[in-house]
Structure 1
Amino acid sequence: MRTMGLDYGERRIGVAMSDLFGWTAQGLEVIDRKVVTDPMARIAELIKEYEVGAIVVGLPKNMNGTIGPSGENCITFAESIKQTLDLPVRLWDERLTTVSAERTLLEADVSRNKRKQVIDKMAAAILLQSYLDSVVK
């Protein structure tokens, strides 16, 4: 059974998927809410296609550990997933995942336009990998 990682944002949702063993995370796609009218339906399609058993949603916290408006939106989104798709959903601290993804892409000399297209799924992969590393025995 796979675990899905979601980096939720107002405009885009980065999607990552674990391998079958739950050892590694790979960026899968970016759901652009201006293009996809029903992101929850797309997430449901991916869950079915990849036989997902659990979901990890990134929870952006402030550096002092408090939860701001973006974090509140992620909590609401996670609750919506849990109720709509009837799967276990775990919130996971995603502080600095986007910064880390941006740094990696800059070091790889990826163009600004290409970075914009992949940063969200890369951030999702980083947060999912962090979660997987914490649960691997």
Structure 2
Amino acid sequence: MKVLLIKDVKALGKAGEIKEVKDGYGQNFLIAKGLAKAATNQVLKQFDAEQRKKAENLRFELANLEKLKSELAKVSLEIKKPVGANGSLFGGVTKDEIAIALKEQCGFELDKKSLECETIKTLGLHEIGVKLGHAIHASFKLEVKAE
């Protein structure tokens, strides 16, 4: 009996592979536990359609991330913080403050966990990295000014 593996099965194969197995093993174990489906023409066509749709969604998502990367490269953010008598910042600029300022000033809503920086404790221009996903990284400029 031919089966299409839905999930990875140890010692048999990975999801998406078509394998020839004994009838009892296929019916009573693989199909019964939801690890595989009988490899009929209808099931194979449905699987191929799902794979094409996943690939198309991935291409669409990658295109959107690349567009976001190019838009973020143009961003120049400004945050004003109080400074002490010697010119040093009180506290620092955190990822949370950067994410909020990015949303308010530029309209980009990013999770603070995607920002690649430590707490900024100096005035001036800083480069902030952003992990967008799918191994795509972007960056933008942040200027910290005295209030």
TM bracket, shorter-chain basis: under 0.3
Higher helix share: 1
TM-score by length of 2: 0.19
Q: Return the structure number with greater relative CO, CA threshold 8 A, min gap 6.
A: 1
TM-score by length of 1: 0.20
